[in-house]
Structure 1
Amino acid sequence: MKKNRLSSSIDIRNAIFSEVAIGILANTILLLFHAHNFLLEHRPKSTDLTIGHLALIHIVMLLTVAFMATDTFGSQKTWDDIQCKLVVYLYSSMRGLSICATCLLSVLWAITLSPRNSCLAKFKLRPSHHNLYCTLFLWVFNMFINGSFLLSTIATPNVTSAHLLRVTESCSLRPVIHFLRYLQFALRTIQDICLLGLMALSSGYMVTLLYRHKRQTQHLQSTRLSPKASPEERATQTILFLMSFFVVMYFLDITVSWFSRMLWDIDSVRMCVQMLVGNGYASISPLVLISTEKRIIKVLKYIWVRWH
């Protein structure tokens, strides 16, 4: 029994570190590509800054996951309070920023697709520094609503208590005063509901635009022809898939978090399962976005040929 548990623990550890490694590599490629476009291209796309920002968030998030996984799987060096507070606070802030940046990407692409006579057309003329201001606001807001983790996170190596929720082997969350707990819960819930609602509206708007464009295309061209989808259509389909995937992973993460607390008494099993599910979007989303960028694929193919 002990041997089987050790074997499954090693398998989970390898799965987590593989997921983190793939995610960091893919997000780094995505960040470098869109940072190059935003800084050096004459006319960068409106989404370059947002996609680069999303990739940066996921890199930081996955790096903190790597530290947490290292501690969870029996690092010989235990953490102190400052290390625990920094890692847990940074991870929770990046998770909040991930949904913010994903929502912003969905809204920006809906604005990009909107026709000239729509109410969203006026936002196309807004300069890119408005996106930068919005990004800065999202960072400040998320850092604020996750501030209670700086108070509730403590180092608890070799300590077991029913009042503590273990995060890693060295770190746990202790109960905080009711006001802070309810304030954080209310702010996070309001943020998530608003952002998920915006994603649903922008996604529905993009689906409507795609449907109208498809009908117009069928009118203009013979039904015997099968015209190739335009770059805008392919990008829209990718972003719609990304939004759907995010929503699925978001609710799956919530479900796993609730069920794991009831089904598993072993903290390490619960933490590992939550790590795998909770970071699936951060690892897979860059691969989806890279698949639509022909220039990135050409560079990767060139590197592959040169190395082989």
Structure 2
Amino acid sequence: MSSLKNVLNFQAGLGVLANMFLLFFYIFITLGQRPKSTDIISCQLAFIHTLLLITGADIWLWDIFESLNIENGFKCKTTFYISRVMRGLSICITCLLSVFQAVTISPSSSFLAKFKYKLKKYMICSFFFIWSFNLLFLSHWIFYTGTFSNVSETNQMKVTKVCSLFSMNYIIRALILTMATSRDVFLVGVMLATSAYMVIILLRRQRQHKHLHSLSHLRASPEKRATQTILLLVIFFVVMYWVDFIISSTASLLWMYDPVILSVQKFLMNVYPTITPLVQISSDNRIINMLKDMQSVCRHILKKG
């Protein structure tokens, strides 16, 4: 178990560093020049994933709370609620990123083209709705989370060393699971539909460019590179999310959590927020060029020294 905890902490540490780097980069882009609509969404996704990874790493938050002398019940409610909200926001914002990229690359003759020039207006409204919905929809976890007590173990499901979920009515539990599943199925369906739409557009443009330009020009297209990155993230998200969802749903319905299963679930849940910034960093030319410039400056300083 100790080696598994070390893996989880290493994963969380890597993910937090990558997301923080990406967050500061997008903030710099947003403040310094006219950002793309997808930059603002990616900035928010990096912030969400940072919080998701921090709340998932119990040791870090627990040390912070211990230094502030905050009671365990509040710690459990806060970390679990924030973790669940960030998880919900992750799927919503990833879906939003997929939709906005589909609108961005849609041809002028398509139905989606008329939304291109109103993306920022729709984006602000979308952010407000998504955050409000998730904060309210997942508020029930505040009432069903608390400190683990040996007195009534049968009415609790241990989720960390000191935190547990309190027993709830089977009908309420089934209703919450049904609503959460319906939300996730809808969002994943939208992601798959927009992904298929983007693939069709890319294939059409590839055939057109074969007649007009060289393939090297097509490969260098920033629009195509950005679309391919988002497609990769969506596909990866869908696979990892449903594997994690099957594990957590089964454990929730059976009201049983094994420490190993819980650790595996945490690892799976943290794969997407850890991989996402690394994929975005490696595929964004602006970041690559910035890192190359920084490397050149460092070499120049070292040579002078």
Alignment of 1:35-54 (within 5 A): 35-41=27-33, 43-54=34-45
The structure 2 residue matched to 1:268, chosen from 259, 272, 279, is 259
Per-residue CA deviations over 1:153-202 (Å, capped at 9, x if unaligned) read: 12015567233211111111112245643442233122111111110110
Give the 3 Å change call, closer, same or farther, for CA 145–51 of structure 1 in structure 2.
same
* 1:199 counterpart = 2:200: no
Shift in Å at residue 256 of structure 1? 3.7
The structure 2 residue matched to 1:296, chosen from 279, 283, 287, is 287
Q: Which residue of 2 aligns with 1:13?
A: 5
Q: Is the 8 A contact 1:35 1:48 kept in 2?
A: no
Which structure has the highest helix share of the two? 2
Q: Which residue of 1 aligns with 2:178?
A: 186
The structure 1 residue matched to 2:117, chosen from 122, 125, 133, is 125
Q: Which residue of 1 aligns with 2:57?
A: 66
The structure 1 residue matched to 2:83, chosen from 80, 91, 99, is 91
Q: Is the 8 A contact 2:146 2:164 kept in 1?
A: yes
* 1:254 counterpart = 2:211: no
The structure 2 residue matched to 1:209, chosen from 191, 195, 201, is 201
Give the 3 Å change call, closer, same or farther, for CA 67–301 of structure 1 in structure 2.
farther
* 1:220 counterpart = 2:212: yes
Per-residue CA deviations over 1:51-91 (Å, capped at 9, x if unaligned) read: 111111001111111226776xxx9x996211111111110
Q: Which residue of 1 aligns with 2:222?
A: 231
Q: 1:226 and 1:40 mapped to 2: Cα distance?
A: 31
Q: Is the 8 A contact 2:157 2:257 kept in 1?
A: no
Q: Secondary structure at the match of 2:146?
A: strand
Further displaced range: 126-135 or 207-216:
126-135
Q: Is the 8 A contact 2:23 2:46 kept in 1?
A: yes
Q: Secondary structure at the match of 1:44?
A: coil
Give the 3 Å change call, closer, same or farther, for CA 89–258 of structure 1 in structure 2.
closer
Shift in Å at residue 260 of structure 1? 7.2
Q: Is the 8 A contact 2:282 2:288 kept in 1?
A: yes
Q: Is the 8 A contact 1:145 1:188 kept in 2?
A: no
Q: Which residue of 2 aligns with 1:285?
A: 276
Q: Secondary structure at the match of 1:172?
A: strand
Alignment of 1:235-246 (within 5 A): 235-246=226-237
Structure 1 residue runs of 5 or longer lacking an equivalent are: 1-8
Structure 2 residue runs of 5 or longer lacking an equivalent are: none
Q: 2:290 and 2:95 mapped to 1: Cα distance?
A: 29
| Number of residue equivalences | 293
Q: Is the 8 A contact 1:12 1:272 kept in 2?
A: yes
Shift in Å at residue 40 of structure 1? 2.7
Alignment of 1:164-183 (within 5 A): 164-178=156-170, 180-183=172-175
Shift in Å at residue 269 of structure 1? 1.7
Letter in 1 for 2:186: C
Q: Secondary structure at the match of 2:29?
A: helix
Q: Which residue of 2 aligns with 1:137?
A: 129
Give the 3 Å change call, closer, same or farther, for CA 159–239 of structure 1 in structure 2.
farther
Letter in 1 for 2:147: A
Letter in 2 for 1:83: K
Q: 1:179 and 1:135 mapped to 2: Cα distance?
A: 31
Q: Is the 8 A contact 2:145 2:163 kept in 1?
A: yes
Q: Secondary structure at the match of 1:203?
A: helix
> Normalising by the residue count of structure 2, what TM-score does the alignment of the two structures yield?
0.86
Letter in 2 for 1:215: R
Give the 3 Å change call, closer, same or farther, for CA 57–242 of structure 1 in structure 2.
same
Q: Which residue of 2 aligns with 1:103?
A: 95
Letter in 2 for 1:16: L
> Normalising by the residue count of structure 1, what TM-score does the alignment of the two structures yield?
0.86
Q: 1:256 and 1:145 mapped to 2: Cα distance?
A: 21
Give the 3 Å change call, closer, same or farther, for CA 286–159 of structure 1 in structure 2.
farther
